[in-house]
A = this chain, B = another copy of it.
Amino acid sequence: MYQPINFAHKFSLFTEQWQPKVIAEMNDYQFKVVKIHGDFVWHSHPETDEVFIVLEGALRIDFREGEVWIKPGEMYVVPRGVEHKPYAGVETQLILIEPRGVLNTGHEGGERTAVNDVWI
């Protein structure tokens, strides 16, 4: 009846990259797992902060005036409205935390926009 959510198990269930999948909800916030490799697009989320937690690999988030490296066992909060571009030189496993309804490309849209609210 009561089951924990195991991150490694969730990551074992899919191989595709840049397609966040919901694993849990806390009030109106969602926890998502995603695999990434390579460069994403510049975007921002004008209405919300966004949390990145790295489990494997290494995530670089580029800002217009700097960058941050986030490694396993680390997190980072991208403030609302701040333009950013994720990058990973190796396949990287992340947990994203943000309100339900937030798109991966923010308000930029485009071909990199993933289907939202897919549970795994």
Contact = CB atoms under 8 A, between A and B. Distances in A.
Interface of A: 1-8, 24-27, 29, 31, 48-51, 55, 61, 63, 65-71, 73-77, 80, 97-99
12 contacts: A1-B65, A1-B66, A3-B68, A4-B71, A4-B74, A5-B75, A7-B75, A24-B75, A26-B97, A27-B80, A31-B75, A55-B73
Contacts of A1: 65-66
Among the interface residues A4, A48, A61, which one has the most CB atoms of the partner chain B within 10 A? Answer: A4
Nearest to A27: B49
In order of increasing CB-CB distance, the 5 nearest A-B pairs are: A2-B68, A4-B74, A26-B49, A4-B70, A5-B75
